[in-house]
Amino acid sequence: MGGAFGEFSGLIPNGRSAGEASQGNGLDNGQPNTMRIAAFLLLLLVFLLGCEGGPADDKADRKLRVVATTGMIADLARHIGGDSVEVLALMGPGVDPHLYKATQGDLGRLRAADIVLYNGLHLEGKMGEVLEKLEQIKTVVPVSRGIGVDRLIDHPEYEGTYDPHIWFDVQLWAEALDEVLATLIEADPANRSYFERNAEAYRRELAELHKWVRQEIKKIPPERRILITAHDAFSYFGRAYDIEVRGLQGISTVSEFGLKDRVDLIDFIAGRGIKAVFVETSVSQKNIRAIVEGCRQKGHEVRIGGSLYSDAMGEAGGPAGEYTGMVRSNVNTIVNALN
């Protein structure tokens, strides 16, 4: 990437996720969360003030610069924006957005962006307040904004809090597409027809994907349609495609679980005769492997059925490096293990 956007993309060495580079950046040193946020905002302000008084940045001579928090959102922006946008995802493969801490390198990326897209619904837990503050000085949009609360899954313990994993229902993710489309059109109205054509083509692709997922999951006998994962990220998937879902942790990997939660899940797996459980690429395998061992001690053999992409996509250029490939990979893994 060229220009200022490319300059800041080089602050973290190639081959490392932004999350991996967070150690030693001054924001991850054991301070209380509020102090880290304050430090981040102060640094952000310094970067922003440092821009003032410099040569004008002529947006007409370059592509729109879009920064997205997750790979799934970046993928949406690329499909709709096409050749007219330059898109960067802050969180790479294997990065857990619930736990992600912004790096100093991210400050430059946010400063250079014309548009910042994030999921919302508290997915980006440690970045949420920063993103909301950033809305005061540039275009910052949660892609979940246009989805009605009647379409969201509410949190059983916290009123007004909703499950953020909307991309696991392909039809629901198509509604997030509308928010990205509207944002790009507002930023670059001259390319409106181009963005709309791209969005319509991708909408058709998502409709076909949704249909395919439904057909594939139906290949699993109803009594075997039980998906056990490390954290409760697949509730939208379960609702949309008629499969029962259980997670050891709650909707966020920050949430804690106790001995009773583990015992209850082991009893459930053994009682239902479940033969396979799943690990996730962005979550430690330790807890699920402990469940497998607990089932074995109880006299029930259950295996790891495969690794699922939950809060992050796969490596760029790989089969799960795009959203549609990520969904297909997950579905194939689930069907093969449970069928």
**Residue 284 pLDDT:** 84
- Name the phi and psi angles at 313, rounded to 5: -80, -175
**63 and 82 fall within a common domain:** yes
190: pLDDT strictly greater than 90 = yes
Report pLDDT digits (tens) over 9-39: 333 333 333 333 333 333 344 445 555 655 5
Tokens 């922003």, residue?
48
Among 123-127, 205-209, 223-227, 271-275, whose mean pLDDT is lowest?
123-127
Total number of domains constituting the chain: 2
DSSP state of 54: S
Q: Distances from the Cα of 184 to the Cαs of 54, 84, 87, 188, 295, in angstroms?
A: 26, 10, 12, 6, 50
**201 and 241 fall within a common domain:** no
**Residue 256 pLDDT:** 52
**Residue 258 pLDDT:** 67
The whole-number average pLDDT for the span 74-78 is 98
**47 and 118 fall within a common domain:** yes
**Residue 48 pLDDT:** 52
**61 and 203 fall within a common domain:** yes
Secondary structure, 3-state, 111-175 = HHCCEEEECCCCCCCCCHHHHHHHCCCCEEEECCCCCCHHHCCECCCCCCCECCCHHHCHHHHHH
**166 and 311 fall within a common domain:** no
Report pLDDT digits (tens) over 290-322: 999 999 999 999 999 999 999 999 999 999 999
DSSP state of 22: G
**168 and 290 fall within a common domain:** no
- Partners of 116 in beta bridges: 67, 140
Q: Which of 17, 14, 10 is nearest to 69 (CA)?
A: 17
Helix (H, G, I), strand (E, B) or coil at 9: helix
6: pLDDT strictly greater than 70 = no
Answer yes or no: are the C-beta atoms of 63 and 88 closer than 8 Å.
no
In sequence order, which residues have a C-beta less than 8 Å from that of residue 50 and are 6 or more positions away? none
The domain boundary residue, chosen from 182, 210, 238: 210
Tokens 């797996």, residue?
269
Question: Which CATH number does the domain housing residue 183 bear?
Answer: 3.40.50.1980
**Residue 13 pLDDT:** 32
Mean of all residue pLDDT scores within the chain: 84
**200 and 242 fall within a common domain:** no
- Partners of 308 in beta bridges: 280
**143 and 227 fall within a common domain:** no
**68 and 150 fall within a common domain:** yes
The whole-number average pLDDT for the span 161-188 is 97
Among 55-69, 98-112, 182-196, 275-289, whose mean pLDDT is lowest?
55-69
Helix (H, G, I), strand (E, B) or coil at 52: coil
**Residue 16 pLDDT:** 37
| Rounded distance between C-alpha atoms, residue 38 and residue 32, angstroms | 10
DSSP state of 27: S
Q: Which two tokens stand for residue 133?
A: 């503050």
Answer yes or no: are the C-beta atoms of 181 and 82 closer than 8 Å.
no
**254 and 319 fall within a common domain:** yes
The range of the structural domain enclosing residue 97 comes to 3-210
Answer yes or no: are the C-beta atoms of 303 and 276 closer than 8 Å.
yes
Among 45-49, 77-81, 245-249, whose mean pLDDT is lowest?
45-49
If pLDDT is split at 50, 70 and 90, which confidence band does 251 have? very low
The domain boundary residue, chosen from 210, 241, 269: 210
**203 and 231 fall within a common domain:** no
Q: Which of 225, 235, 229 is nearest to 289 (CA)?
A: 229
If pLDDT is split at 50, 70 and 90, which confidence band does 64 have? very high
**Residue 30 pLDDT:** 43
The domain boundary residue, chosen from 180, 210, 240: 210
pTM (2 decimals)? 0.82
